[in-house]
Amino acid sequence: MYKLGFIGMGNMASAIQEGFINSGYIKADEICGFDLSEIATEKAKARGVTPLSDGHEVIRNAEIIFMAVKPQVVEKVVAPLKEDLKGKALVSMVLGYDFAKYETMLDPSTRHLTFMPNTPIAVGEGMILLEDQQTLTDDEYDFIKKAFESAGSVEVLPSHLMGVGGALSGCAPAYIYMVIEALADGAVAQGLPRASAYKLASQTVLGSGKMQLASGLHPGILKDNVTSPAGSTIKGVKALEDGGLRAAFINAIEKSMGK
């Protein structure tokens, strides 16, 4: 069991902490962290995480350090911690900061791994991508992989696919919430109460994803199984195609990769 320390405890770090604690794999008192924001600090405290007064203290008190600040500030945050990180393990969820970038930012004695989580890790249904190049010890890697598996599904990807992988599983929860909201709006417009509409939409998204994963069937086959000849679903499918649904999602992945 390793002590975990978080630098930055915003939305993504909070989701990871909740996922780890709820799974029972890691106890809250094995986790410490620092955030500049008082609100974030109070929320972490309420979760049972120990708040510390700066990054130096986090590194002193932890064995595996999670880097969880925004990409825009990560270099500024890491630079003054470079000395403290010597001989420690750093795991980073910062979008766009891969193995090669950390090799230039960290002392050679700092072991590191880049991963890309998503917020559903909070409820045990995360998708966590691990970059295949990393320098953790076997024990650290095994521990961290099992921690992620306790709260989601893990996929190891080569460095050059981490960006596109992150654009899908890291960003798409936002897109799926938009789908849920839009489906619910459609049903509310036709008279379904709002609360029922969200429940029906979310359970349908959950069930559809689960069925695709469990069956391994092509999504087109599963779609065809719902789509009776001259039935209701095909009329909805036509409306979605008229609205450019597929192109919209394809463009969303491209845009979220910064293209």
Only one of the segments 2-10, 195-203, 213-221, 223-231 lies at the binding site for ligand NAI (rule: CB under 6 A); that segment is: 2-10
Neighbours of 6 (CB within 10 A): 30
58 is in an annotated binding site: no
| Options 116-124, 126-134, 141-149, 232-240: segment touching ligand NAI (CB under 6 A) | 116-124
- Is 7 annotated to bind a ligand? Reply is yes
DSSP letter assigned to residue 246: H
- Please tell me the distance from the alpha carbon of residue 211 to that of residue 184, in angstroms, as a whole number: 21
Contacts of residue 236, Cβ cutoff 8 Å, sequence gap at least 6: none
Residue whose CB is less far from ligand NAI, 51 or 197: 51
Binder of ligand NAI out of 4, 5, 8, 62 (CB under 6 A)? 8
Euclidean distance between CA atoms 248 and 253, whole angstroms: 9
Mind giving me the DSSP string for 185-243? HHHHHTT--HHHHHHHHHHHHHHHHHHHHHH---HHHHHHHH--TTSHHHHHHHHHHHT
Compose the 22-41 pattern: x for residues touching ligand NAI by CB under 6 A, - for all others.
------------xxxx--x-
Binding interface with ligand A1CAB (CB under 6 A): 95, 166, 170-171
Binding interface with ligand NAI (CB under 6 A): 7-13, 34-37, 40, 55, 68-71, 73, 77, 93-95, 116-119, 170
